[in-house]
Amino acid sequence: MIRTSRRLADGREILYFDDDRHPVPRDAVDGRDLPAVVPRSQLRFDPLLAEWVVVAAHRQTRTHLPPADRCPLCPSRPGRPTEVPESDYQVVVLENRFPSLATGAAREVAPAVEGNPLAELRPGIGRCEVVSFTSEHDRDFAGLGADRARLVVDVWAERTAELAALPGVAQVFCFENHGEEIGVTLAHPHGQIYAYPFVPPRVERIMASVRRHRDATGGDLFGEVLAAERAGPRVVAANEHWTAFVPAAARWPYEVQLFPARKVPDLPALTGAERDAFVAVYLDVLGRFAHRFDTPMPYIASWNQAPAAGGRDDWWLHLQLFSLRRAPGKLKYLAGSESGMGAFITDTDPEDVAEQLRAVVLP
């Protein structure tokens, strides 16, 4: 993999990643007249839930579903400059113009929110990146092909390692929002990476469960769950290195988790063979999501990696893939119980979902 670092007109970094079998010079210059990015993010602590909330009101003005001929992630053309100065590319990573977290966020903040000394205040330090998987506007991840998908995996790993090393970063989160129903603001095939200055609630809760189970039984909760699911009725696809299964207590109408057979903390720890094997299983499962109904499912693909420091020996890397679609033309809305109480009520049976996905005939 070849990495080329350049700067956009407002000083943000853009990184080109190319297959080393096909080197391409990356020398295009961003000639746009852009104002400097001034992030105003801050962290506010909820003392009742013991969780951090990111306040980033400047994101209200971010680009929202522009037409294809105005897509900011398509390559630049004569007379139509975009976020990507080159006329073509393989995979691109760039700093988000409307970041939730940024290394340049104001560091001088009050110790607490005005009027509530229990609500601690911190600067919104971190980094938010956009990962464009291809220069082709109408392609999606399921249609990238094995070589390009593998390049994306290598990019995720490279960015995870680099961002985790930044001062103050506690967690690196790679994810993809796919489909307008999910809430994407750009239709171009892309994902994002957040470098959080705190460990998010999901990781903290899983870590607590893993440690509690180890203290009570001496066992590895991750390993025991994986072993049980591999032998159970909810496996959707598998190979030597990876297993994709519908979890027994799935929260979402269609949810699949992908676990490597070997315990590793994060993407950089995967071998080349494990990355190839992931691509094979992941593209298979994405194809099943795309063809389960008459129209492709909207989905979120969420990498669960170990924190940047602390607890890494306890963690088992996995990917959570889930969709809000519960039936043709019907979405699962997070209504009163889910949004108000955090208590999920699922509309589908996990065993049935696994059987349905296995039965999908892939083209």
Q: Which residues are part of the catalytic machinery?
A: 190
Residue with tokens 């590319």: 89
SS3 350: helix
> Distance of CA 229 to CAs 249, 256, 349, Å?
11, 11, 15
Q: What's phi and psi for 99, nearest 5 deg?
A: -80, 145
Kindly state the tokens that stand for 49. Answer: 């839930």
Tokens representing 269?
């720890």
Q: Burial code of 216-226, b = ≥16 C-beta within 10 A, e = fewer? A: eeeebbbeebb
Sheet holding 42-46, edge to edge: 51-55, 42-46, 116-123, 112-113
Total residue length of the chain: 363
DSSP 213-272: HHHHHSS-HHHHHHHHHHTSTTEEEE-SSEEEE--TT--SSEEEEEEESS--SSGGG--H
- Measured in whole angstroms, how far is the alpha carbon of residue 355 from the centre of its chain? 26
Q: Give backbone dihedrals phi and psi of 266, rounded to 5 degrees, phi first.
A: -160, 180
The token pair at 277 is 């094997």
Location of structure tokens 């560091």: 107
Cross-strand partners of 194: 128, 173
Give yes or no for a contact between 207 and 325, defined as CB atoms under 8 angstroms apart: no
**CA–CA distance, 101 with 58 (Å, rounded to integer):** 11
C-alpha angle 289-150-362 in degrees, rounded to nearest 5: 30
